[in-house]
Structure 1
Amino acid sequence: MAKVITLGETMVCFSPDSAAPLRYVSSFHPRIAGAESNLAVGLAKLGHEVLWISRLGEDEFGHYVQNMIRSEGVDTRAVRFDEANPTGIMFKETSRGETAVYYYRKHSAASAMEPEDLDESLFEEAEILHITGITPVLSESCRRTVERAVELAKRHGVRISFDPNIRRKLWGDRDYAPMLRDFCRESQILLMGLDEAKVLYGGESPEEIFAAVYGDGAVQLAVLKDGGNGAWASDGKQILYLEPWPCRPVDPIGAGDAFNAAFLAGVLEGCDLQTCGRMGAVAGAMATETDGDTEGYPDRRKLQRILENREQIYR
């Protein structure tokens, strides 16, 4: 049985073959993109059993997504194929080192997820449920599905890991911050971007934010990620600064999910807070060094070599 369960939408992502406004791009290549499946792939590469739950369209894109995720060692048996709704797609646009994304996911199969899509038996031997703030804002049925997953996790003693993963394009004119704070309070492991934490908790410094986090809710471990500036981790008793791992970034998308995956791998392995944080920092940095969300994620051997400061022999 999978030790980690996650659920959410994965889309087919069309990446341009040139850096320019999309009106001038004539060719694209497909990849997959989804915060939760990114995390699942990251954990699987590090040798952990992980289950990804979602709905995909009963179309060629849906089978492409499942094949890609399954090929990385992720358990996809809980995926449902939807004949009434299509697989979501998105397009990337790159220019001057920046990446913009355009979503075409309205009425997608994943947005039609229902609580009935969750098999309670899957939670009986799991250790961690990882959710994000993306899925519950896709639709009311998705919100109910995430709430049901949290309920099942609590019933079976499964720790809840939450990344708010704020997506303003999905929020529209609604304020989902109160709902996301509710999920924060339900979680034992909270993995946030520093900017997201400021939106949800209002503090400016890590100390202020951690004080707010631990003053309300069930949180046992919390992380504030700040990209190339490093990160901070706390267990409620101490705050550790995690230096950024040196890298040559190409595309930052997927780095936060890589950090989450490696950090949770450390938690599953019983590592101390410093080691969990260092694992996350290394994986997050490596994720930025390739195009695509997960292509740069390290496997167990590569991550271990870096953690042990062993030199890689190439020739």
Structure 2
Amino acid sequence: MKIKRVWGCRCSSSFSSFGEDAGEVCDNGSEDDEDERDDEEEGDFGSPLLLPERWDVLGLGQAMVDFSGTVDDEFLKKLGLEKGTRKVVNHEERGRILQAMDGCSYKAAAGGSLSNSLVALARLGSRPIGGPIINVAMAGSVGSDPLGSFYRAKLRRANVQFLSSPITDGTTGTVIVLTTPDAQRTMLAYQGTSSTVNYDTSLANIIPKTNILVVEGYLFELRDTIKTIAKACEEARRSGALVAVTASDVSCIERHFDDFWEIVEKYADIIFANSDEARALCNFTSKESSASATRYLSLFVPLVSVTDGQRGSFIGVKGEAVYIPPSPCLAVDTCGAGDAYASGILYGVLRGISDVKRIGKIGASVAATVVGQQGTRLRVSDAVKLAESVAFQHKTSSTSFPSDVGTDHISSF
């Protein structure tokens, strides 16, 4: 076990202080060591002197620091936590849980579904392979506390620039992920300042300089944030940017069904969902197939991406669903597979690939690579190999495409 200093935080020997100021990070070293090597390889992209004139992708989402640890069933029982659920906790509950974890091994990361996709996309586009370097940014809400600095710095070192200014005296949100030996995850979210994402001057200035805006579905859970989402999507459309929406979570969709559809129907060019989320968006029962949900959603959204676990995935265009077989891999950790798949789809779109099946296969390949490792982040070395493979296939394939959308091809958005 190692003790690491978190970007200027004072380290403590106890978890109890973590509930107040997040003062220490303990981990087993494996994934963080890999991340550190990747960070060194990528360098510090965060200098204002290196900011591009335009952003290829801007993600709007919840900025949360993840604390991931392994516990047993008895631990959950003592704290009265229901295994496999996601629960929002307050400051006191977070402190109580972290104190109970005192002495446990855990990892800290700039977490979240959207950040996983953005980091993977930035790594795929970190070299001028098959096209120019892809510039990726994120906007959201973090506090001016040490965890806010940690979050911004970790994304920056992964070539994802966090563009929103920290909220003075704000508390950065956290998610505690407790994994039991049966691989079930119990998630406890403390939202802090992440519970408010405002459409401020900074965000208003960034969106017109963006090619694709990606909105994280978890934002629909936050009160009044639907106004921010609507304004951001409206400005993106006005400035000619594409709008992508991630479905994020079935229960989130069920609670905010009308809000989701207001944004999807008015603004979405791309939607990312797994099979359960797709059915929830369609208000379908579990008996309906993933293909049926894909076809239905594609009547409203130009490009629909629906993953179906080890069974593969579907890309929907104009009422049709194109099946994408899964890429072969030996599954090690399925967490983050959907996030990786989304990054592959975005990469294919940004590289100007028009063939639906090829775009889907890129997504499947990226997902298989992440599933075949421990951890949710696509490694730099793997990203470079994937980008080289995509460039080679694109170069050797036909570049003549029909002008209209068909079963196997999509037109320019």
| Contact kept? 1:22, 1:93, Cα under 8 Å | no
| Match of residue 256, structure 2, among 176, 179, 185 | 176
8 Å Cα contact 1:288/1:296 also seen in 2: no
Q: 1:193 to 1:92 in 2, by over 3 A?
A: same
5+ residue gaps, structure 1, are 310-315
2:122 aligns with 44
Aligned length in residues = 300
Q: Closer, same or farther in 2 for the Cα pair 1:31/1:90, shift >3 Å? A: same
Alignment partner, residue 179 of structure 2:
94
Distance 2:319 2:378 in 1: 36
Tell me the secondary structure at the aligned position of residue 247 of structure 1. Answer: coil
Q: How far apart are residue 53 of structure 1 and its match?
A: 0.5
Give the alignment of 1:1-315 within 5 angstroms. 1-16=54-69, 18=70, 20-21=72-73, 23=75, 26-47=104-125, 48-76=134-162, 78-106=163-191, 108-116=192-200, 118-140=202-224, 142-166=225-249, 168=251, 175-185=255-265, 186-203=267-284, 204-215=288-299, 217=300, 219-236=301-318, 238-271=320-353, 272-296=355-379, 299-304=382-387
The one-letter amino acid paired with 2:272 is L
Judged with a 3 Å threshold, the aligned counterparts in structure 2 of structure 1 residues 123 and 255 are, in CA distance, closer, same or farther, namely same
CA distance in 2, matches of 1:104, 1:22: 21
**Equivalents in 1 of 2:175, 2:312: separation in Å?**
29
> 2:281 & 2:235 partners in 1: Cα distance?
25
Give the share of equivalent positions with the same residue, in percent: 24
Distance 1:293 1:146 in 2: 26
Residue type of the alignment partner of 1:84 = D
Structure number, greater radius of gyration: 2
Per the TM alignment, residue 167 of structure 1 is displaced from its structure 2 partner at its CA by 5.6
Q: Find runs of 4+ consecutive structure 1 residues off by over 6 angstroms.
A: none
Cα distance change on mapping 1:167 and 1:86 into 2, 3 Å: farther
Deviations 1:39-85 (A, max 9, x none): 21111101121110011111111111111111011122x22211333
Distance 1:211 1:167 in 2: 19
Contact 2:144/2:167 (8 A) holds in 1: yes
Secondary structure of the residue that 2:232 maps to in structure 1? helix
What's the TM-score once normalised by structure 1's chain length?
0.86
Query: 1:84 aligns to what SS in structure 2?
Result: coil
Most deviating of 39-48 and 293-302: 293-302
Whether contact under 8 Å (2:148, 2:166) holds in the other structure is yes
Deviations 1:237-260 (CA, angstroms, capped at 9, x unpaired): 643211112223333222111111
| 3-state SS in 2 of match to 1:56 | coil
Cα offset, 1:111, TM superposition:
1.4
| 3-state SS of paired residue (2:210) | coil
Gaps of 5+ in 2: 1-53, 77-100, 126-133, 394-413
Distance, in Å, in 2 between the alignment partners of 1:269 and 1:303 is: 13
Aligned to 1:312: none
Calculate the TM-score normalised by the size of structure 2.
0.67
